[in-house]
Amino acid sequence: MWNQDKSLNLSIILVRVLSVLIILLALCVPVMVNWYDVISPDRTGLISGSVFWPLSICLYLSAACGEVCLYHLYKLLKNIKNNIVFKPENCTHLRYISWCCILVAIPFGIFGFWRSLGFFVAFAAGFFGVVLRVLKNVFVRAVEIQEENDYTI
Domain boundaries defined on the chain: 4-151
Q: What is the pLDDT of residue 49?
A: 79
Contacts of 52 (CB under 8 A, 6+ apart): 33, 34, 37
From first to last of the 153 residues of the chain, give the pLDDT tens digit: 878 889 999 999 999 999 999 999 999 999 999 998 888 766 677 788 788 999 999 999 999 999 999 999 999 999 999 999 999 999 999 999 999 999 999 999 999 998 888 999 999 999 999 999 999 999 999 999 988 888 876
The Cα-based distances of 102 to 82, 97, 111, 113 in angstroms read: 29, 9, 15, 18
Q: What is the pLDDT of residue 48?
A: 80
The Cα-based distances of 8 to 35, 60, 79, 108 in angstroms read: 37, 29, 11, 31
Contacts of 85 (CB under 8 A, 6+ apart): 79
Whether the model clears a pTM of 0.75, i.e. scores above it, the answer is: yes
Q: What is the pLDDT of residue 152?
A: 77
